[in-house]
Structure 1
Amino acid sequence: MSRFVLSDAAIDGVAQKRTLDDDAAGACVIFEGWVRDHNDGRQVRRLDYQAYAPLACSEGEAIMTEAVSRFELRGARAIHRTGSLEIGDLAVWVGVSADHRDAAYAASRWIIDEIKQRVPIWKNEHYANGESGWLHPDNSPVDPGLGPPR
């Protein structure tokens, strides 16, 4: 089973947590990133996520493998949505299990930060005034000459 997955369907966090079950684990940390109704002072109506799937999955899997080794995790899994999402939808889910809580907390934070920096996923925010704007994984505006994948 892949530790990093892109999904165009809703994420079932309860089912995902079960993939982390391990009798040797003493801690489990779950991070859920939800679509919020604002960003940088602008009212957001919805988001569209696009990804270059072959590279995104490869880089996501590399992040997860590195996390398991670096933090001595018992389990690790991350799912990122693609497609159109509404306010309140679950956009990204990260779960880790480890022997101790310090490792689990540190790994969870490290994984989501690395996903945002390294995985080619683009976010198009649709604003209340009818405008929209693409953001790159690090949340900086995308160069209009480059843009997201089509």
Structure 2
Amino acid sequence: MTAEPDVARELAEILSHYSGAKSELIPILQDVQEKLGYLPEEVMQRVAKFLRLTDNTVYGVSTFYAQFSFTPTGRNKVTVCRGTACHVRGGARILAEIERRLGIKEGETTDDLEYTLETTACFGSCALAPVVVINKNVYGRVTTAKLAEILTMAE
């Protein structure tokens, strides 16, 4: 494996909790995603070897699920709702202001790997529109004036 020593060590630690059964693929990928923040190609190859699966099988499974990322993500995941209620109540302005404050666009990560900005079709929290989720914290009735405080709390 050509991964950096720290990544190789972290992967070895993760794999030490598994028996090598093919059914462990998704939990292993979830653990790697949680630990590293994304799924590097060389790590997926090592997982395939550990589980005696083809690289294509691991890649196919990992690309099927939206929870997995193949590029480094920020320590803080900021997700803005694009649902109808959020849109009507200013969601587009909220997204534009977050992009301005963080200096990134939707789907991008800050250079310091502090923030990743994403959108979603709907959180199902329409009564709280517009909604922003940072990591697992839900912020409702967000205004552009509240964004500085909300983003500071994430740090």
TM-score by length of structure 2 reads 0.26
Greater percentage in strand: 1
Larger CA Rg, structure 1 vs 2: 2
Per chain length, whose mean CA-contact separation is higher, i.e. which structure has more relative contact order (CA < 8 Å, sep 6+)? 1
Greater percentage in helix: 2
